[in-house]
Amino acid sequence: MNGKNRKHSYTVTCSSTFRDAVLALAERRKVNVADMTRSVVLVVPEEIISAFADPGEPSRDDRETVTIKSGAAEGRLWRRKPRLQVRMSPGLDVTLVRKALGLALAFESGEMRINVDSGKSEDEANALDVAGSEVGLDEATDAGPPDDEFMDADDELERLRALVSVLSFDPLAQGITSREDAMHVLGFPPGPAPNSSTLRNRFRMLATIHHPDSPYGNHKRMSQLNAAMDHLRSGRP
């Protein structure tokens, strides 16, 4: 495939009200969100888009609920920031994409409009009017809400779930059938078993992660941890 045709999927976090308004406009115009963004980026100079008020991140209590479809947490509900997925050429800034979509809504509502002249070069800042009057770049910049300064706990939790899933052992399909299996599940290399204190400490540490009541818990992994300890305590090979 020609490298010029590669696309990048941008995750544009935003308020649920903004998300719904963008999706509704796309449906009315029979286009997708990327088409709307691309139209604004192609027509409006980048400095004008950059100066437009950023619709901003969602408030801390504005979340959408989705079902995780894969991985250790498959089937669980995840509360996350509302978002739009926009597939476009790589190299764009997510904030610029969100501002472009904000401009699309402003054009649709009549709050802003594009003046098309004979082609004579004029100050590009005059291309946009607000309610019939010119808007300065400083005014547009000051109108945006402040960025969210705090880490979103739900997003961080999901990242940690994914990290735990990657770093954790895969449950053995045949279960614990040997001392070597038990050592593997507990994270020890092949060889002599550690002393009982070391085994207990390792089990307790892993149990706090994999117990089903933990945010990162996994029933299969916890069951095999218990089976591994039982096997080693029994003294079986």
| Cβ atoms 47, 124 nearer than 8 A | yes
Domains along the chain with CATH numbers: 3-142 (no CATH), 168-234 (1.10.287.110)
Q: Could you read off the pLDDT of 125-169 as tens digits, one per residue?
A: 454 454 444 444 444 444 444 444 444 556 666 666 555 554 566
Answer for the pair 228, 171: CB distance below 8 angstroms, yes or no: no
Tens of pLDDT, residue by residue over 52-83, are 899 999 999 999 988 877 666 677 888 889 99
Average pLDDT, the chain: 77
Q: How far apart are CA 104 and CA 99, in angstroms?
A: 9
- Asked if the model's pLDDT at residue 2 lies above 90, the reply is no
What's residue 136's pLDDT? Answer: 43
